[in-house]
A and B are shown apart, each in its own frame.
Chain A
Amino acid sequence: MYRYYKKYVPYLFILPAAVILILFFFIPFFETIVLSFFDYNSNIYHPVFVSLRNYTSLLTSPVFYKVLLNTFIYLMVAVPFLVVIPLIVAIMINQKIRGITLYKILIYLPVIVSIVVAAIAFKWLYAQQGVLNYAMSVFHINPVSWLTDPNVALYSVIIVTIWKGIGYYMMIYLSALMSVPKDLYEACEVDGANPVVKHLTVTLPHLMPTIGLVTTISSISAMKVFVEIYVMTKGGPLDSSKTIVYYIYERAFENLDLGIASAASVILLVIVLALSVINFVFFENKQYQL
């Protein structure tokens, strides 16, 4: 194809987006790394270069250790539920039954509604004399201090994340399910296999790449969780529900401890980057090829 544009034209088209991405992605990215080598704690106007001291103090701090552990628990608990529940729901919705659209709308609703509203709604369900504790009392279970018991708060918040993610991942599974060849199912039905066997032998193998995709993207979003914690527990009680983004937020914007906040950010960056690379190499490599 012959050239119908001048040499500088491509750069003109790219320029506006490039300015935004450089200003709000690349510069901040490098600045995060640079800031992580400085101490702002003693005097915020005269940062001192401290090389790796922010990292060593983070990694020896019991609070940050707890934060990392909480983040890890968040991931290990939320991800399996977000991989399995939406898959089962998607397989059930992917049948020729009535009311599919209504089911989809209702199950997708939590995805659309502001996470702030969702967190407030759950805070209300979790109230000491709230509905959830009443429901438990019906089964003779003692009331739980959902958001104020250090052993429970983290899991209460995780439930909100899972609840809000089901519709989102269900839609990802649904679009993958459409590509399963119908004749494979027919062959199965001719063989007289029951529905469970059918899905185990046909659907699951076909969905493996999608299951991988959901695993990595739900892991990445579990790493980035913030609003649920901010609205419901502020990381408490006793740091029991504090995860890494909340910790960064607190350090940066409440304590103005820019160095420590940046070092924690770099740790977050490294983990998310690793997960993203896995995602790109194995699951999302098609639309991102030159």
Chain B
Amino acid sequence: MKNIKSVSGGFFIHASLIFVSLLSIFPFLWLLSTALKGPDENIFQYPPVFLPESPTWANFKGVWNQIPFMLYFLNSMVVAGFTVLLNLILSALAAYPLARMEFAGKKTVFYATLATIMIPFQAIMLPVYLIVLKLNMVDSVNSFMGYLGLILPFAVNAFGIFLMRQAFLAIPKEMEEAAFVDGCNVFQIWWKILLPMVKPTLAVLAIFTFIGSWGEFLWPSIVLTQKTLYTLPVGVNDLQGMFSANWRFIAAGSIIATIPILVFFIAMQKYFISGENDGAVKG
């Protein structure tokens, strides 16, 4: 009796989860389906046809030839790459004294940092833009300054600092004392002893900073004026203007732009969806 009940319960759960999973990916699948349909196939057909009759790469080729995706991809890589690097270094630097040292003004630094978590970027983006303008960090000066303007405002944030601080707090103090006795200076202690011990936290910070920076749209769309510095999200949004009614091209372009982050997600999936309950799956 109990078995029958749990089997029907299992069926209900699987059915619901399959439904939610399909809802989650259907918009992308439909985009893919549209992108694979050739000019002979009516994409507004009723009833809609999910599987293209004669799938073609023509739309992908067409949009690839008109949009410099490689350039947008490289721009995104530069911006996300340096944003991650700076976040790791600056967070780990600032977190160390907050976790381990006593100094005048520690409380002030701590609470001031905490306060920045509560300030939404959207509410201060105008003055941030004015400051970036004043510092000449815009793409109309040159590409390097353009990149700086995209990266520096997001070079560190309070989440990263607190995350690293928690990681440092978990390390026994004896580690540092031993290193000091061995003749390490404080910077060496940080670099050679502590950082290797917080590698898992650095990885988490790197991955989530990367995802955030990679998907950022609002800020680049405010500061960028030159197409040569467009990141992928800005480039994708631009598709709508360029191919106003050509949904095959818009769909193909959106799919192309999604591939890099999809690869990254699959490769790093354990960081996003890990948890002890994975091990609970019974064969």
Q: A and B: partners?
A: yes
User: Which A residues, 171 to 198, have Cβ-Cβ distances below 8 Å to chain B?
Assistant: 171, 174-175, 177-178, 195
Query: In the bound complex, do residue A245 and residue B122 qualify as a contact, i.e. CB atoms below 8 Å apart?
Result: yes
A159 CA / B9 CA spacing, docked (Å)? 29
B40 at the interface (CB under 8 A from A): no
Q: Which of B227-283 contact A (CB under 8 A)?
A: 232-233, 236-237, 239-240, 247, 250-251, 254, 257-258, 261-262, 265-266, 269, 272-273, 275-278, 280-283
Could you say which residues of chain B place their CB within 8 Å of the CB of A118? 27
Between A and B, 11 residue pairs with Cβ closer than 8 Å are: A20-B155, A28-B131, A89-B17, A92-B17, A101-B269, A103-B21, A114-B233, A120-B251, A178-B277, A252-B129, A268-B122
Complex interface: chain B residues within 8 A of A6 (CB): 186
B162 touches A288 (CB 8 A): yes
Q: Is the interface of A mostly helix, strand, loop or mixed?
A: helix
Is there an interface contact between B218 and A227, defined as CB atoms closer than 8 Å? yes
Say yes or no: is A50 at the interface (Cβ < 8 Å to chain B). Answer: no
> A24 at interface (Cβ–Cβ under 8 A)?
yes
A11 to B34, alpha carbons, bound, how many Å?
56
Are the CB atoms of A9 and B97 closer together than 8 Å? Answer: yes
Excluding A109-B265, A117-B258, A287-B166, 17 further A-B contacts by CB distance (< 8 Å) are: A20-B156, A28-B125, A99-B17, A100-B281, A108-B272, A109-B28, A113-B261, A163-B23, A171-B272, A178-B277, A230-B217, A248-B122, A272-B118, A276-B117, A280-B118, A288-B162, A290-B107
Contact with B along A22-54 (1 / 0, CB 8 A): 011111110110010000000000000000000
Within 8 A of B (CB), among A224-267: 224, 226-227, 230-231, 245, 248-249, 252-253, 258, 261-262, 265-266
What 3 A-B pairs come out closest when comparing CB atoms? A10-B97, A28-B127, A121-B27
- Give Cα distance in the complex from A229 to B126, angstroms: 19
B211 in the interface (beta carbon within 8 A)? yes
Contact partners of A121 in chain B: CB under 8 A: 27-28, 30-31, 254
